[in-house]
């Protein structure tokens, strides 16, 4: 099984952020921030996302801090 990012999962399954947010009962804005890597979800929410994606997006991958890009 190939794991993917939440963004990839939504894209390949043609699911809008709004629809996914509604499915897990979170706001669209909050889910957008998580999808873009600007926010890290709680461990509980990460597990809910993993369950809602059928394990395609693993909770552990959502809990990683985004890598800072070198601006040089």
Q: Tell me if the pTM is above 0.85.
A: no
Best CA proximity match to 4, nearest among 45, 58, 44, 43: 58
Where do the domains of the chain lie?
6-62
Angle at CA of residue 66, ends 4 and 25, nearest 5°? 60
Between these two residues, 72 and 35, which has the higher pLDDT value?
Answer: 35
Q: Tens digit of pLDDT for each residue in 18-71?
A: 999 999 999 999 999 999 989 999 999 999 999 999 999 999 989 986 555 555
CATH architecture, domain defined by 6-62: Orthogonal Bundle (1.10)
Q: Tens digit of pLDDT for each residue in 38-48?
A: 999 999 999 99
pLDDT (0 to 100) of residue 64: 80
Q: With cut-offs at 50, 70 and 90, classify the pLDDT of residue 12.
A: very high
């Amino acid at each position: 099984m190939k794991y993917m990012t939440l963004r990839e999962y939504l894209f390949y399954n043609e699911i809008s952020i709004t629809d996914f947010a509604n499915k897990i009962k979170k706001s669209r804005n909050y889910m957008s921030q998580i999808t873009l890597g600007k926010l890290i979800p709680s461990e509980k929410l990460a597990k809910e996302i993993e369950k809602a994606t059928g394990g395609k997006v693993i909770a552990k991958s959502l809990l990683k801090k985004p890598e800072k890009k070198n601006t040089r």
